[in-house]
Chain A
Amino acid sequence: METTNTEQPVAKAVSPRFQELTFTAKRLFKNPLSTIGLAIIAFFLIIAIFAPVICPPKYADPFKIPHSGWKIEPQPPNAQHLLGTTQQQYDMLYGMVWGTRGAFKIGLIVVGANLIIGILLGAIAGYFGGIVDEVIMRVTDVFYAIPFLVMAMALVVAIGRGLTAVIIVLIILEWPSYTRVLRSDILVIRNKEYIMAARASGSSHFAIILRHVLPNAMYSVLILASLNIGTTILTAAALSFLGLGSETGTADWGQIVSMCRNWIIGAPGNRFAYWYTVFIPGFVITLFVLGWNLLGDAVRDVFDPKLRRK
């Protein structure tokens, strides 16, 4: 639908959507919080990409952490193990580096799948309304009512433990928030003049949703996605911590935190003897989640039309 541009042909006009995008990017880089967030995510991304270089895998399955011996006590950082070892001598650095890959994998798969489901159902519910809308919304109400973590635990147990189960369960449980957010945005857009214009000029429903509704309703969902990568990682780590995720010795952050649970007391004479084994894995998780939250927050400020052009 080029109806808006046909009357006044602007010479080689840059598409307004592109203009908005560059404006957004500029605003994003001006905001110190989002710059920190982006830097944190970039840092983790580099680690995830170069994981095989930083810590060459020893086994066929790179997510298995190599360990030297079975000694129970964690070892402090040393030349061989730059971040020390966990109990049973799993290398902490290896676990953190390959765990980064795992975190990106979980976060991106879960949020990606939720975006697809959420956009599909949200678009249908918001655009068509009526009985379809009613049914989809009541289903999301049910999902909102169930206790998230407890239900996630129940589902993981029912499906069978492991990281794959955790990913599937998080997809099943998290889509309703995307659907709701997108739907409420579409409800506002649905009655705008440009949608009526498109309808009057004979566009199909599919074309209207794809070309006019979704591009204008996507912002809130994308912000939600950025914030949700953080919460997804937190939930996955919590499930691993509770012993429902990967097996012992897997490069999985939550699993490694659960290994350090026994070492909060320290040793006689040195009460902080094992602080590193408790501190490091949790700190890495927090930093990763913080990166996504800072970014999501900043994107929200930038996209908020009330704050946008001030």
Chain B
Amino acid sequence: MNLYSFIVRRLLFMILVLVGVSLLVFTVMMILPPGQRLAAYVTSEKVTPEQMDALIAKYGLNDPAPVQYIRWLGNVLRGEFGYSVTASAPVITAFGLYFPTTLELVLYATPLIILVGVALGTLGAVRKDSVADHATRVFAIVGYSLPTFWLGLLLLMIFYGFLGIFPPGTLSNSASDVVMSSHFHHYTRLITIDAILNWRWDVFLDALYHMFLPALNLVIINSAMIMRLMRSSMLESLGQDYMMTARAKGADEKTLYKRHARRNALLPVITVSGLTLAGLMGGMVITETIFDRTGIGWWMARAATQLDVAAIMFNVLFLGTIYVMINLIVDVIYAYVDPRVRLS
């Protein structure tokens, strides 16, 4: 099979999974009474009890489920996701407001997570059974066992509470004033990038300063998985015949590890890194809540406790789509670098 038909097949498969996700989201929504589901259809302010019945009839919320599903799917495809009570705005407007904050942290944290995971995993494999190996393995299994919310609280207690540095939030008040002012142009809505484009390095540094603890929190918890995989993958790679060939041909140890072992060992890490990136978006609920960063995770936590159905359902759909798309990209990369995947 060539690469193009592989991609086409995966695309069709992706659509199938997305239909499944939408069905699942719809089913969850149908558990709720019509009055609560209404929020996913309306586009403006809260509805008064008198209007409620009229609107339920208007949007046909007592119709048979399949009819409702088709209608709802139509809305979704047109980009109508209803009104978010917690954000006091249409879901899509609120999303535009919250998403950049999440994306920004993900963009900084993901490379760090992968770097730390790959570096420590390689170290463990190359120096198998040394003190460093055992230390990194303990780090991995403890990192794997830590509750995200507790680690976050501990970090805040030590750095913010005790040392008085790295406060929660997205920006300090003064930097926030700069960003809100009319002189500051929002090109990308990612604060660090906009700050550079506006040539405000103070804002840039302030944003990084606020991102440090949440990023550290994510790195400690999420690099464990990649580290373990990298270690075992590297160990396997070190035992292959081509390593002996390379050694016999007189390659020095450094080239041996870097060019021959690590390149092959990185293959499975691509998959897990992709999944980590996708998982991070959904995993932001806790980190953003603890560090008081107003991203979609923070929004979700509030939406869940206040029964903001429209917001939650939209985000499940959105994150599901992201996950499937990242998966597709990972598969294509994988098929590109490793022809065996395409052939099977």
Contacts and interface: CB of A to CB of B under 8 A. Distances in A.
Interface residues of B, number: 51
A176 B131 CA distance: 38
A282 interface: yes
A242 B145 contact: no
A260 interface: yes
B31 interface: yes
B184 interface: no
Given A154-B304, A264-B153, A282-B153, A142 B24 contact: yes
A157 B312 contact: yes
Contacts of B47: none
Interface stretch (B56-64, B80-88, B318-326): B318-326
Contacts of A158: 28-29, 31-32
Interface string B24-45: 1100110110000000000000
A138 B17 contact: yes
Given A145-B323, A150-B312, A153-B285, A290 B142 contact: yes
B154 A278 contact: yes
A289 B162 CA distance: 28
Contacts of A242: 285-286, 289, 301, 304-305
Contact of A241 (B141, B149, B307, B315): B149
A224 interface: no
A265 B21 contact: no
Given A145-B323, A158-B28, A151 B144 contact: no
A145 B281 contact: no
Interface in B105-150: 141-142, 144-150
A293 B28 contact: no
Given A159-B31, A244-B304, A266-B162, A147 B150 contact: no
Interface stretch (A99-107, A111-119, A211-219, A230-238): A230-238
A240 B25 CA distance: 22
Contacts of A294: 141
Contact of A142 (B21, B149, B327): B21
A1 interface: no
Nearest 5 pairs of A and B residues by beta carbon: A282-B150, A147-B282, A142-B20, A147-B319, A290-B145
